[in-house]
Amino acid sequence: MNDITFRSATIDDVPAVVAMLADDALGSTRESPDDLRPYRSAFADIDEDPRQELLVAEYNGAVVGTAQLSYLPGLARQGAVRAQIEAVRVDRSVRGMGLGSRLIEECVRRARERGCALVQLTSDASRADAHRFYDKLGFQASHVGFKLTLAEGSSH
């Protein structure tokens, strides 16, 4: 998989990204790939925000991976910027070939390039395989995360 390219997503990538988001036990219960309108609206918001970056990995002309990076300025750690990695997915056709590691490495590279002091991510408590994967890449399970669902779906 030496010919993987990483790039910013375009609106044309939305169907492939949504298909990957929906293609697992958790995503299948919360994503609706049959109606792309809310995803296209959300993409427009991401695309317009200089502190957001939706990445895709491309292989042989197909989108086979994705991750979203959010750059969060803060006062903690002496005004440090942190990068939050979200919605990491690799297409099932290329799983086990090292693409996930390369995708995370690309996220970390981009965070360093933007001057971030740290990179953080969350992973659903039920995703034991993902936890082992992130641990292997050097991430530490240093915090306990909490979420409060305000509404199903989004405001789009």
| Other Cβ atoms within 10 Å of 72 Cβ, number | 12
The verdict on residue 156 lying in a domain is no
Mean pLDDT of the region 40-50: 98
* Domain tally, the chain: 1
The verdict on residue 153 lying in a domain is no
- Given a cut of 80, whether residue 134 has pLDDT beyond it is yes
pLDDT recorded at residue 142: 87
The verdict on residue 150 lying in a domain is no
Q: What is the pTM of this model?
A: 0.89
The three-state secondary structure class of 16 is: helix
The verdict on residue 154 lying in a domain is no
The residue assigned the tokens 């903690």 is 76
The verdict on residue 141 lying in a domain is no
The verdict on residue 28 lying in a domain is yes
Contacts of 2 (CB under 8 A, 6+ apart): none
Query: Which CATH number covers residue 30?
Result: 3.40.630.30
Residue 85: which domain range? 5-136
